[in-house]
Structure 1
């Protein structure tokens, strides 16, 4: 009996232990859930958040600087980038060819020399217009050029512009067309040949100077790179050698172009 009573008391005490209700777990979960979502709820509140205002001007300038940085580094970071010299030589040769084409040589006359003359339509107004914009210049064989004016009032100013130029031309009114001028092209003389050669030599010297200026710009950039140690000394030295060779070739091409034009002028 005592054993049974002890067992009953033991199991009875255990049976009296309260059993957790399922609702209690739900309440605890709910409480935990509420605690978890409180910060999220506060994030959507209407309270004013303190944020540092961005400096738009600074950000835009920084972005612009970042955009320019790769280009600048690309242009100046490579010691073997001789594009400046290449472009300078090409521009010098192109300008020289244009200047030489305007000079009288080989018995031919470039009508662009007439078209590029400046015409003053009114004495009261000092504004000048390009002759090619006021009239049509048409070559008629090797020794004649016709000028067709758009308006009859433009004839006298056009004649004055042609006579006062250094082209040594004398325009004549056409007897059959009131808007037309006939401009005879005189054959080149010894004096005109010599003058053409002098002008061609000046054009050649201008082209040589342009090549030297382009070479000087590249040389300065290479020196700056060497001082700032932006490139290896050996690379800078090799780039300078390439620069000198390219510059010498450019000046040689300029002089050869002049010599060819000079021979044609002397034979005219």
Structure 2
């Protein structure tokens, strides 16, 4: 082997690995799990939990302003949802012509089960009474929370699969030492395990709040 070739190989071995060749770079895995947890938190917050109601559930309702068109608008872009005293919310509609379309959209949403009423003194205000919790509504919310948690767990495992595929690619290309790959694999499993634990904790906290509502 020539001295030049030997020095070239030594330089390659000493050079820092690129981002795709670093087995200890778990930024993609961690970012994916973080996004999954953020989505889980958002989805759990939208569930009806007894007498408490998240206004965002109303804001995300799709409203069909023109029956001749399939185009819909987000309720939150047409009106402002405000909490009132007790078990009620107020919806301040931007344009009077949109009031009936918004009422219809809310009434047609089976997950909300709400009946908005036009305010007697303000024609662009809708008063929305929030029905008290029932065993059926609480059980439905608990079931939905569990299902949402399972979806999040699947998301964490999908992120793990992507990371594992990346490590296997390094193994096939032999660009990383076997010992480093083994250590990276253990590190990956630790990150994934923590992600699954975080999912379980978030779901349990949400379910506890629903049971106490």
With the length of structure 2 as denominator, give the TM-score of the two structures. 0.89
2:50 and 2:132 in contact (8 A); partners too: no
Deviation at 1:122, TM superposition (A): 1.2
- 2 CA distance for matches of 1:252 and 1:151? 47
Q: Matched residue of 1:145: which SS? A: strand
- Match of residue 27 from structure 2: 83
- 2 CA distance for matches of 1:192 and 1:262? 13
How do residues 1-268 of structure 1 correspond to structure 2 at under 5 angstroms? 74-105=18-49, 107-165=51-109, 166-268=111-213
Flag as ranges the 4+ runs of structure 1 deviating above 6 A: none
Greater Rg over alpha carbons, structure: 1
1:107 and 1:142 in contact (8 A); partners too: no
Deviation per CA, 1:107-148: give whole Å up to 9, x if none.
Answer: 311000001000001111111001111111111024110111
Higher relative contact order (CA 8 A, sep 6+): 2
Deviation per CA, 1:172-197: give whole Å up to 9, x if none.
Answer: 11100111110001111111111111
Deviation per CA, 1:167-220: give whole Å up to 9, x if none.
Answer: 010001110011111000111111111111111112111111111011111101
- 2 CA distance for matches of 1:217 and 1:231? 18
Segments of 5+ residues of structure 1 without an aligned counterpart are: 1-72
Q: Matched residue pairs, number?
A: 196
- 1 CA distance for matches of 2:86 and 2:29? 39
Q: CA RMSD in A?
A: 1.1
With the length of structure 1 as denominator, give the TM-score of the two structures. 0.71
